Amino acid sequence: MTPTATGIEPTTDRPTTGPIPTTAITVTGPLRERYDEILTPDALAFLSELHARFAGRRHDRLADRMRRRFEIGNGHDPQFRADTAHIREDAEWQVAGAGPGLEDRRVEITGPTDPKMTINALNSGAKVWLADQEDATSPTWRNVIEGQLSLFDAIRGQLSYTSPATETAPGKEYRVTAERTPTIVMRPRGWHLTEKHIEFTDRAGRRMAASGSLVDYGLYFFHNAQRLIENGVGPYFYLPKIESAEEAKLWDDVFTFSEDRLGIAHGTIRATVLIETLPAAFEMEEILFELRDHIAGLNAGRWDYIFSMIKNYRGRGARFVLPDRSQVTMTVPFMRAYTELLVQTCHKRGAFAIGGMSAFIPNRRDPEVTAQAFEKVSADKKREAGDGFDGTWVAHPDLIPVARAEFDAVLGERPNQVDRQRPEVHVKASQLIDVHIGLPISASGVYANVSVAIRYIEAWLRGLGAVAIDNLMEDAATAEISRSQVWQWIHQDRSTEDGTRITRDYIEGLIGRVLGEVERREGDRFDDAATIFREVALGDDFPTFLTLGAYADYLTD
């Protein structure tokens, strides 16, 4: 890349402004009740324009990812970029920062966008709700469009939900009752994902599946941006799986075009970028710079970050092998370096730093387990608040008071601690890849990975993206870590602490054990889930995301 006065020179000559032919959009999914309120002609025309302008650049960025993974796999460790040093060294520039309703983000709740979970989130008492159309949503056609309907209704104060009646009880009605509801920050799917129920024609005349990112973002923005502004907030987004400043620039151009297209003031959109990939950790400052007119902060997406580390270093030898998933905590060297750098980088540029997920689900039948979990959550949030984070994530409403207490103790009446600059932090590139933990792989840890991955994938195939497993609310990131660890342990010829080699045959035995232990019901997808797990954990090749093949070949609506 060639540095310029404004940042990084684009690698493509595709225009982002000016007249451009409309790309034909075709909806191939079934049109159920109220779908026409989301898939309106004007909304589809907007999706058409987004794809005409940005689909080609999306493919360019995905090709960049492949090249970068190839380089790392062949021994070229990532470094802080020399061609963008001028951005990091310029002390003057600052980002847009918090938009209305985002000034205080000390506790954010995450969850999918089905009606019941939407209502629970809005009644939770959190400051922000991450309305997740990505890892916590199985991207069935029903979930994609009906999630948009949930958000459409919630923003207009007209959302309600009645649970199905049973033989012994009538359906229960749910409504939003909170006087103050969380600010909504919607997370669209990542750049790598497609929407197979919507097709577009590219410039070469080929019919292609639409971008999941542009579909999720485009429908939400088109229908809700103006109403959100009228409500005193704005159209806000969490951006997942970003790997480079160029990907951030692509999003910024999408935002700029969208604001101009709908006649909204430039900079109205606010984004928070999840730093959940290893390459992005080396470009945090550049990502902030490229989104500087539209960005509010960065988030430490801890689980996907661990997955990204394994994915990039899976073939680089035994020194890059991690132990049991449960042992890879936020205090191990590479995770500590990454979060310290994130806080320092954000505050240097006037951005918020948002901490990672606490996924525990209270077990009301076992108060002792719940109490122990609350202690762990409290300790985790105390560390984050003490490190300078401005807020954090939880997956269950009962964790909000626990997390809020730790941030209240540090923040007091202040809405954030962006003014805390952390000049004492000095993170080197080598520290971001220091995965030495010195703990063994246990047989129970291997089994836990196989069990959790298969149970999650099975639920995902049935349309559930956020799944309660072993007192934790799991999403796709947990399954990705689990299967990638198994793949790496096999290919690096690892053994458990009792000397048992981790081989394909050994894992096959664990798959059989899992299938024998789960409760089988009519219509379950455990056999398909086991097949998918074999494909992504036991094969010679390493699929970049398990959801890609599972979505294309197994997910039905």
Nearest to 105 by CA among 394, 434, 441, 517: 394
pLDDT tens sequence across 175-234: 999 999 999 999 999 999 999 999 998 878 889 999 999 999 999 999 999 999 999 999
Number of C-alpha atoms within 13 angstroms, CB side, residue 546? 36
- What's the mean pLDDT in 25-30? 95
Could you tell me where the beta strands, DSSP code E, fall in 291-367? 295-300, 352-358
pTM for the structure as a whole: 0.94
Q: Could you tell me if 290 and 250 are in contact, meaning their C-beta atoms sit under 8 angstroms apart? A: no
- Looking at per-residue pLDDT, the higher value among 10 and 398 belongs to 398
Q: 270-275 and 236-239: which strand pairing?
A: parallel
Give 20's pLDDT tier (boundaries 50, 70, 90): very low
Cα 57 from Cα 483, distance rounded (Å): 30
- Residue 168, pLDDT score: 84
Exposure string for 422-440, b = 16+ CB within 10 A, e = fewer = beebebeeeebbebebeee
User: What residues are annotated to the active site?
Assistant: 187, 475
Q: Could you tell me if 282 and 80 are in contact, meaning their C-beta atoms sit under 8 angstroms apart? A: yes
Of 27-36, 106-115, 366-375, 528-537, the poorest mean pLDDT is in: 366-375
Both ends of the chain: CA-CA distance in Å? 43
The domain limits of the chain are 3-430, 443-553
The yes-or-no verdict on residue 487 having pLDDT over 90 is yes
What DSSP assignment string belongs to 369-417? HHHHHHHHHHHHHHHHHHHT-SEEEESSGGGHHHHHHHHHHHHTT-S--
Query: For residue 270, what is the enclosing H or E element?
Result: strand 270-275
- DSSP state, residue 137: S
Confirm whether 3-430 and 443-553 share one CATH topology.
no
Nearest to 242 by CA among 61, 80, 74, 79: 61
Fold topology of 3-430: TIM Barrel (3.20.20)
Give CATH for domain 443-553.
1.20.1220.12
Cα 335 from Cα 301, distance rounded (Å): 11
Give 459's pLDDT tier (boundaries 50, 70, 90): very high
Tokens 């002609």: give the residue: 41
